[in-house]
């Protein structure tokens, strides 16, 4: 049997149209955008075209887009850069976030607390992994420097009420960041509609190349650079621009915005069928994440008494590529922070499985997976 890829939340293949747009900038137009000659001018023009493309999708000014190396760097720059700048201006020293965030946010917040003297308040999520506006309203105060809440959860697919949380933050004059790395493939990312001050993207989640991302920073938002050196990105992020990858980011995001509804319409019925069949065919199985407010390609489960890592190995041997949650968590013998934040006991949290669909997923592949999964879960329970 051919291998079947069901881990699109971890990464996606580069769209052939994206690759075609990138290729000239590896060879023919290889100049450094910081150079003043024609080679550099052509490269600079490509970078700025990509910036304009990203800005058009986000509904912002091109100068509000900072290019980075990935979504994790965008999260780091948002938290470190904004929190440090706000504290410098006002003395505010608290960061509000949750344990259900991607490690790029939660570990950065913890690092700011441990090494930089910030205080972090870890907000509780509900049983579906949602962070509700009421939790932010209860915790926010004049000492809050920044609030960071992800748009959609990478492990369980839950979509957070970002617009409502942003309104709470702005009533209190507090900056709001959202990690939209997982969400951008299927959800609208117009920054004015969302009301965010900072928003992170990573190209490889929506059929662009790995190793490139972007951070939206609303005009007037204070931000200290984390990476210093040259004057690239308006002095906010130093480093030679990765021209072909930035071109790829722009083209991938453009295609995603243009094809978002069609892509969602393809995966949603497959996902719904998959969720229903798994819950019906496997005893002591639970859906994790919100049953309705979730990404259209995302199915995630826990199986009581199963070894999640053993299940992944069994699935891989049977020809299926899946995940136990965040790709950053695979191999960890303990339940992820997200499973713990949901309040799941260890006997459930250790048996997590994430199945995420994509443009290449077929109904036949889903059926093959559903036929194989029940017996593999039973084997994982005996380990």
127-169 pLDDT, tens digit per residue, is 999 999 999 999 999 999 999 999 999 999 999 999 999 999 9
**Separation between Cα atoms, residue 278 and residue 248, nearest integer Å:** 36
- Residue-range domain boundaries for the chain: 4-12+260-381, 16-256
* 211, 212, 218, 220: CA torsion to nearest 10: 80
- pLDDT greater than 70 at residue 328: no
Q: What is the pLDDT of residues 350-374, one digit of tens each?
A: 999 999 999 999 999 999 999 999 9
- pLDDT greater than 60 at residue 332: no
**Helices 363-381, 243-281: crossing angle, 10 deg rounding:** 70
- pLDDT greater than 70 at residue 35: yes
Confidence band, pLDDT 50/70/90 cuts, at residue 203: very high
Confidence band, pLDDT 50/70/90 cuts, at residue 383: confident
Q: Do domains 4-12+260-381 and 16-256 have the same CATH topology?
A: no
Fold (topology level) of 4-12+260-381: 3.90.1150
Gyration radius from the chain CA atoms: 21
Given this model, what pLDDT does residue 168 score? 98
- pLDDT greater than 90 at residue 45: yes
pLDDT over 90, % of the chain: 95
Establish how many alpha carbons lie within 13 A of residue 284's alpha carbon, considering only the half-sphere containing its beta carbon. Answer: 11
pLDDT over 70, % of the chain: 97
In angstroms, the Cα distances linking 210 to 31, 68, 134 are 21, 11, 36
- pLDDT greater than 70 at residue 118: yes
Active site residues: 328
Cβ of 37: how many Cβ atoms within 10 Å?
Answer: 9
Are 322 and 315 spatial neighbours (Cβ–Cβ below 8 Å)?
yes
CATH C-level class of 16-256: alpha beta
**Separation between Cα atoms, residue 251 and residue 19, nearest integer Å:** 9
Given this model, what pLDDT does residue 2 score? 77
pTM for the predicted model, two decimal places: 0.96
**Separation between Cα atoms, residue 313 and residue 382, nearest integer Å:** 14
Nearest to 129 by CA among 107, 100, 149: 100
Q: What is the pLDDT of residues 169-202, one digit of tens each?
A: 999 999 999 999 999 999 999 999 999 999 999 9
- pLDDT greater than 90 at residue 334: no
Token pair, residue 13, equals: 């293949």
Q: What is the pLDDT of residues 267-287, one digit of tens each?
A: 999 999 999 999 999 999 999
Token pair, residue 83, equals: 């929190």
Given this model, what pLDDT does residue 324 score? 86
């Amino acid at each position: 049997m051919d291998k079947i890829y069901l881990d699109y939340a971890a990464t996606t293949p580069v769209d052939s149209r994206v690759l075609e747009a990138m290729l000239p900038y590896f060879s023919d137009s290889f100049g450094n955008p910081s150079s003043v000659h024609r080679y550099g001018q052509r490269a600079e023009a490509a970078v700025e075209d990509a910036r304009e493309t990203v800005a058009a999708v986000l509904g912002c000014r091109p100068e509000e887009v900072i290019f980075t190396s990935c979504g994790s760097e965008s999260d780091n720059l948002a938290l470190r850069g904004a929190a440090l700048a706000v504290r410098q201006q006002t003395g505010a020293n608290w960061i509000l976030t949750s344990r259900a965030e991607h490690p790029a946010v939660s570990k950065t917040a913890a690092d700011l607390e441990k090494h930089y003297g910030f205080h972090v308040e870890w907000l509780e999520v509900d049983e579906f992994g949602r962070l509700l506006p009421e939790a932010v309203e209860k915790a926010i105060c004049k000492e809050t420097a920044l609030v960071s809440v992800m748009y959609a959860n990478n492990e369980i697919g839950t979509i957070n009420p970002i617009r409502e949380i942003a309104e709470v933050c702005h009533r209190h004059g507090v900056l709001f960041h959202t990690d939209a790395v997982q969400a951008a493939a299927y959800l609208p990312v117009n920054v004015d509609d969302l009301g965010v001050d900072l928003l992170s993207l990573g190209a490889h989640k929506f059929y662009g190349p790995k190793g490139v991302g972007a951070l939206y920073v609303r005009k007037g938002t204070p931000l200290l650079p984390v990476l210093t050196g040259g004057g690239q990105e308006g002095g906010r992020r130093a480093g030679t621009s990765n021209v072909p990858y930035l071109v790829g980011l722009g083209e991938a995001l453009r295609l995603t915005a243009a094809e978002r509804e069609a892509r969602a319409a393809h995966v949603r019925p497959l996902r719904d069928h998959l969720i229903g069949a798994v819950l019906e065919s496997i005893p002591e199985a639970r859906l994790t994440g919100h049953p309705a407010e979730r990404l259209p390609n995302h199915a995630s489960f826990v199986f009581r008494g199963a070894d999640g890592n053993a299940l992944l190995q069994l699935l891989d041997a049977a020809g299926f590529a899946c995940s136990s949650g965040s790709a950053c968590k695979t191999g960890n013998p303990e339940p992820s922070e997200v499973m713990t934040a949901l309040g799941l006991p260890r006997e459930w949290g250790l048996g997590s499985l994430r199945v995420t669909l994509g443009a290449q997923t077929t109904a036949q592949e889903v059926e093959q997976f559903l036929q194989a999964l029940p017996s593999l879960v039973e084997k994982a329970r005996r380990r």
